[in-house]
Chain A
Amino acid sequence: MAKWQDDLQFYTFHFMHYTDLPADHKKYDSLWVDFSNKHFDARKGYDFYQRYMAEMVLADKLGYDGLALNEHHNTVYSLNPVVTLMAAALIPQTHNAKICVFGVPLNLEMPNRLAEAYAMLDVMSNGRLEIALPLGTGMEYWANSINPAVARARFREGLEVLLQAWTKDGPTAYDGEFFSYRYLNPWPRPMQKPHPKIAIVGTGSPETIQIAAERGYAYSSVFVPIVAQEKTFQKLKEEMPKYGHEFTPDKAIFNAICYVAETDEIAEQECKDHVRFFFEDATRTTARYLAPPGYISTEQLRLRAAATASHGSFDWDALTQQWRVVFGTPDKVANTLGKWCESANSSRVLVHHHIGNMPHWKVVKNMTLFAEEVIPRLRGKKTAAAAETRVPTGAK
């Protein structure tokens, strides 16, 4: 089996939060769905956009393999409700990095329109597009006019349309439960053939793993505890061959919150409050918004009802032990990431360099140190982690 070291790539993932919250924001139990947009200040929004785009441009100059973006609605969590616009804005400002739209929730668009938008981005960027297809969080279904009770069935059908639009010469027809097309024939078509690389995004629910396994796509796990994520990838590795697909390390994409500094102490001091903001504030919402009716199965709901929620809670010790959060010197960060890549046999790391309400200088410092000190340690395959834990090919 291919090993992660052979094809290791680092994407920087920017959520582009709107972090200028009112002083009394803690009184709101959710900063999603119903947190009033009267709190949005367009002047500040302009400044955030300028700054965040500059950070992504810097990442391209520093040599990151991908610039990852995603989309959310009705929330301070994301300034990208139309993430394809941000992707389009970044294309002429960047040159080498892949533009990773991770991504538009398929259910919120007509699938032919999404095929068109993504094809435009791929052609405009000369084939730099990579996409991930999320079902969308539960919160998106409260914010949009889509029935969560049919979300999964609609998603499967939308995916069929999208692929048909990209893989069959048009015009074709499509006759489904949710969509019907008389002339499916979108112009343009993607630069990459037959289409840009696709990942399925999810929390590790059986349904989303199944879709990735059936199609042989990558699985991009959202930020969940390490144990849950490893189970997800294990399941993916087991299921994929059943459908005639080979698991390769680029198909296990994981998220990590990383902060690099001169010493472990300085790193903790500089990042801790921003990690706290991410978990306590940016992701704060209610169980009801996370799971609108029918969005998950009753079996999954039963599991969730028994488990602790990650949205809106912050336990530093638990986070740093059970989640992929690492801060410290380049050696520490590289060693930890190496171990994570090894244990998941993953060659794709989505690094959160901009964390919560982190100021620009820290993002620049973190991104630069990571690119110049951490990535070479891992790419060189001479790190302590790789040397200690590397398993001979075929031993697993």
Chain B
Amino acid sequence: MAVQWQSELHEVNGVTTQVLTAGRGEPLMFWHGAGTGGGWDFLAPLTEEFKVFVPYHPGWGGSADDTSMTTVQDYVMHYLELLDLLKIGKFNLVGLSMGGWFASTFATQHSLRLKKLVLVAPAGLRVKEHPTADLFRIKPEELAPYLAENLAALGPPPDPHDVDFVVNSYREATSFARLAWERVYDVKLPKYLHRISVPTLLIWGRQDKIVPEAQSATWSKLIKGSTVKTFAPAGHLVLNEKPEAVKAIGEFLTA
């Protein structure tokens, strides 16, 4: 279903930030992962119940670069400012992959600002037995099978000879490298996840080849009272592949 996204630009502490919005209702913020290809129309069902905000992180999509943003905490601070600008008080937060890392870190510090939290295949934890894949080791032409079980759900593949696509992918990889070239987790996160005090849902594709579904046990142990829902067959981009996963988010947030 095509969503009529409205696009706005905000100056957030000097960084031009593009925010897409659609729908009506309580505010729901979706924080994307390390890639922005394919768009966000899989969120369509949520726009029926919520006003959905999809901000592009600095360094991604239509938001400007900020080379000084090198830690997850920089993104947490960025979003505190954006929330103030948008005059959003309490809100629902959904974070996917790298966005889940941001969202979980945000929640350890600002649970009072949240209604509920959803983490979809979140990055950010080191689970030695089930390590997160190193995205920098995966060749772009070999990436798609890492992302999904049903490749058709990702839409038509990008043209590798499209210079604009190549340049933007490089730019987003650069933003990701600033944050995660050395490691795609925060060794201290387990120490603080118990600070999350809002109802939390963890969503995973059971065949996730980027952040293995087996990590969900560690997350659910560390976030008290959280629940896990898994979907199969589905990979890392479970929300693209499984409409029922999006539906589960809606049900959790409205319950």
Contacts and interface: CB of A to CB of B under 8 A. Distances in A.
B170 interface: yes
B1 interface: no
Interface in B10-48: none
B226 interface: no
A241 interface: no
A293 B166 CA distance: 12
A305 B136 contact: no
The size class of the interface chain A forms with chain B is 10 to 19
Given A288-B140, A298-B171, A148 B166 contact: no
Contact of B167 (A149, A293, A294, A298): A298
A127 interface: no
Contacts, number: 43
Chain B contact surface mostly: helix
A302 B166 CA distance: 8
A111 B67 CA distance: 23
Contacts of B136: 292-293
Given A147-B182, A293-B174, A288 B167 contact: no
Contacts of A150: 70, 178
B163 A149 contact: no
Contacts of A148: 177, 181
Interface in B161-220: 163, 166-167, 170-171, 173-174, 176-178, 181-182
A147 B140 contact: no
Interface in A112-159: 145, 147-150, 153
B193 to A, nearest CB: 26
Contact of B163 (A291, A293, A302): A302
A147 B183 CA distance: 11
Contacts of B171: 298
B166 A147 contact: no
Interface in A242-294: 288, 291-294
B170 A298 contact: yes
A293 B139 contact: no
Contacts of A305: 163, 166-167
A301 B170 contact: yes
A306 interface: yes
List 9 tightest A-B contacts by C-beta distance, closest first.
Answer: A293-B177, A294-B174, A293-B173, A149-B177, A147-B181, A293-B174, A149-B178, A305-B163, A298-B171
10 contacts: A145-B182, A147-B181, A149-B181, A288-B140, A292-B136, A293-B177, A293-B181, A294-B177, A298-B170, A305-B163
Given A147-B177, A305-B167, 10 more contacts: A147-B182, A149-B178, A292-B136, A292-B177, A293-B173, A293-B174, A298-B174, A301-B166, A301-B167, A305-B166
